[in-house]
Structure 1
């Protein structure tokens, strides 16, 4: 699977976005105008699978990823006129080297002799592909966090192994277009539910960690790999996880091993972001001890932003709480104003210096810092919505929209950190009013789907387009002030009757 070099005219930023470049060096005018990083004109390496003869399409003409993606619109005049780019006929076919699924039997796990060969293939797929795809941490070391902390728990039959096998079958079915794997996915899912029920009823201390891992992986599976047309309730699995954490004595009692800490970090990440989609406070109070994402300390900057996001969600829940005595309105309003100012100051004071990271790779350093900045600007958008009740086209919101999108686009689509960009891209994307920015958001989600094959990303795009339609209609009916009052989360809660998968 060697790399090959592609030399193209135009800067790589424009090429990857499907736009014509004016080729003005060192930075093209389009990148300069949009204030986005220009990736330059140098030749680029791209991995190519040479393990077998290339498949030719029915029309007899070979196509590459670049050829298919070049068919995306060069420009749009309005949101309604922009064609959706996440079409199944383009995105459902395996296109990237990560979806090479011809797994030799010799490379499958042989330390589980009782496992059928078909399930060994799924476990191998988890080890080699899926565990890395669902992780948002940098891949400086192998194995990654999910494989490091969970794979050792898979050597014994149980709910976690069945959940992982179900996830692998679901993802592999989409990546390889093998529909028979959907049957395997359903069978393993039913086995996981039965085993989890038995595990919980056993009430054995040693079973709590595998049980919590199972519930959290069910949460990840429902968010990323759930049926495209399903209407998930984001908090269901998290409520179960909260009960397990409380049963053992709370967060402090769980911090007994690296794997337990990894699970707590994973829970905090999902709990905080699901609080945004519910418009409620997190299920558990996450203290200063939540300092990392997936146990990777170099991602502490993102954890800092998420702790502030949790405070904004608390603020929103307090603002919605009924006041028993109307005479208490003024003190309540004063407390909310004070809290809003404190959170705003905390966000302004955040710094993501490379000096605080123990990473030598310049690309990883840049990706972590840019992701943290994208989160910070998205948190500003969320804060002003909750605290002051406004969004785009307010100039303050638009400033943070432009910044957040720019930071996201500066991270290469192949970076594992892109898997963590759903919330900031949703938050900034929903408030985008410029047609070109909206198209960037569409294309970015398309590329995330193309390189990861997570069906939940399609649902996210539909939700964003629903918000855009609602905001544009409100603009026509009530003007810019009416548009600024549209709460993106509430649009989906009221129109679709469900939360948005943001984690």
Structure 2
């Protein structure tokens, strides 16, 4: 028999089941079970098995075709342990936190072991959810899934946009955001969902997309708003308001926001104490409505169209603590409210008759008392935002703006007045921050430290100095709607400095690009009208807030 006629051995095939490969037996490859596996009652499995380089190195086996095979010997040389070379670069997991990761999932993950892991994970997640604020308690009969899984594609997109694109910018602190920790769970809690609140969140997201130029959600903005108002009206008619109803009004600020605000303040009186799920939620409601009422009244001379509703802070509120939603303390907002009330009373008297010497003395005494309190007002950071220096800058900016507002509404003090010591204007530096952050926060003011007793020669010079200090504090602050009120006040001071005007208009434009809010657009219109009137020397007489599109939400 010639060499060619000899039977050639079959080449080694890489197909076949894993059971036959483990025993080095040629598989007959029948589907779905080969003969050997069927005869021995074995599980016949085919497919690819991935071997990672690091796994091979740890087990001390060859990786792929690595290793050596001697032709002189029938035995393969034992492969040496593969060392991970210098080209291996581990990837830190920090940069992938909160993002999707690729997982090497195999069919084993869907077997019996995988079910046990899933049950364990479900139990752990249930404990975590129940520990968060006590607002969401998943039912054991309901599978734990994404809260937006049951929504339509449009609703899912809009709710996700509100959670990711709107709510994070409504608070100045990343550690405390009531819109994410209180309002959103109240709307999406599947056990007792509040449909009007959910609909208003959808309307807000759709309206914001529309304002940013996306016309695809114009219809949804009106549709969800109509549903929210209809559901809210039903609760009010049945005199069974819930916390969700109050939260619905907090997010319903449209051009008719004064009506919503007045309704929210009255609804707070109707809301039973036990209806508020937590004290934090009630504090959020009070802060929102009271602050918007106070700051909204500062934009007009006579806020008669805003019906006066009695309101006050909670008994245990710290008046010195800076609120992360409004960017200032409750004590400062109380002083601002006193300025508006006193200025309105004075304006009403002057419209009917001239002030008597007794009236002048009474108003001047009250005015000087407010200014004295503003000079020594202390504002401190909350415990959950103790390291946020920007929050201190914003609070100090609003305190200085309140002094400007006082001077514009009630005039300068009678007689000679002296510039305040610079330390008074940087009083927000407490002892804890003096030695650590003095350079970063007080640097814009340090150049004037020698002018502790300079005589104030004119009211315009005093205003210009305060405006410079406000601009110095605001230059390093990010564009945020919380700066709207200081910019509005500076824009209505009536100074001729072009640098001041350019700064105010540029910041208003930047804030509008960040969030195209109606309040920002209207405030910008008022400031531009004030500048035009000043330029053409319009003989209007200086009456605060007599121009522009009515009452503006400046909180």
The alignment's TM-score, normalised by the length of structure 1, stands at 0.63
How far did 1:490 drift? 1.8
Match of 2:205 in 1: 168
Counterpart among 218, 226, 230 of residue 252 in structure 2? 218
Ranges in structure 2 where 5+ consecutive residues have no aligned partner: 1-99, 101-144, 414-457
Contact 2:320/2:331, CA 8 A, preserved across alignment: no
Counterpart among 347, 368, 371 of residue 374 in structure 2? 347
Match of 2:55 in 1: none
2:309 corresponds to 1:309: no
Q: Residues 332, 489 of structure 1: CA spacing in aligned structure 2 closer, same or farther, 3 A cutoff?
A: same
Counterpart among 292, 309, 323 of residue 283 in structure 1? 309
Give a deviation string over 1:433-472, Cα, whole Å, max 9, x none: 2112211111111221223343542332222111111122
Q: Residues 241, 185 of structure 1: CA spacing in aligned structure 2 closer, same or farther, 3 A cutoff?
A: same
2:324 corresponds to 1:268: no
Give a deviation string over 1:344-383, Cα, whole Å, max 9, x none: 00010023467x755453xx2x211111111111111111
2:222 corresponds to 1:186: yes
2:443 corresponds to 1:443: no
Counterpart among 199, 202, 212 of residue 238 in structure 2? 202
2:412 corresponds to 1:378: no
Ranges in structure 1 where 5+ consecutive residues have no aligned partner: 1-50, 52-108, 223-231
Q: Distance in 2 between matches of 1:501 and 1:464?
A: 14
Contact 2:326/2:482, CA 8 A, preserved across alignment: no
Match of 1:430 in 2: 492
Q: Distance in 1 between matches of 2:521 and 2:179?
A: 24
Cα root mean square deviation, aligned: 3.6
Q: Distance in 1 between matches of 2:552 and 2:312?
A: 21
Does the residue aligned with 1:123 lie in a helix, a strand or coil?
helix
Q: Distance in 1 between matches of 2:322 and 2:184?
A: 16
Structure (1 or 2) with the greater helix fraction:
1
2:552 corresponds to 1:489: no
Counterpart among 172, 182, 185 of residue 152 in structure 1? 185
Q: Residues 236, 115 of structure 1: CA spacing in aligned structure 2 closer, same or farther, 3 A cutoff?
A: same
The alignment's TM-score, normalised by the length of structure 2, stands at 0.58
Greater RCO structure (CA 8 Å; 6+ sep)? 1
2:249 corresponds to 1:240: no
Contact 2:302/2:344, CA 8 A, preserved across alignment: yes
Q: Residues 191, 255 of structure 1: CA spacing in aligned structure 2 closer, same or farther, 3 A cutoff?
A: closer
Contact 1:122/1:168, CA 8 A, preserved across alignment: yes
How far did 1:311 drift? 0.6
Contact 2:300/2:551, CA 8 A, preserved across alignment: yes
Q: Residues 212, 436 of structure 1: CA spacing in aligned structure 2 closer, same or farther, 3 A cutoff?
A: same
Contact 1:265/1:294, CA 8 A, preserved across alignment: no
How far did 1:262 drift? 0.6
Q: Which has the larger radius of gyration?
A: 2
Matches within 5 A, 1:470-481: 470-474=533-537
Contact 1:242/1:283, CA 8 A, preserved across alignment: yes
Q: Distance in 2 between matches of 1:201 and 1:162?
A: 19
Q: Residues 297, 410 of structure 1: CA spacing in aligned structure 2 closer, same or farther, 3 A cutoff?
A: closer
How far did 1:255 drift? 10
Q: Distance in 2 between matches of 1:253 and 1:332?
A: 46
TM superposition outliers: structure 1 runs of 4+ over 4 Å: 251-256, 287-301, 322-328
How far did 1:486 drift? 2.5
- The worse-fitting range, judged by mean Cα deviation, of 330-339 and 118-127 is 330-339
Contact 1:265/1:295, CA 8 A, preserved across alignment: no
Counterpart among 478, 482, 502 of residue 420 in structure 1? 482
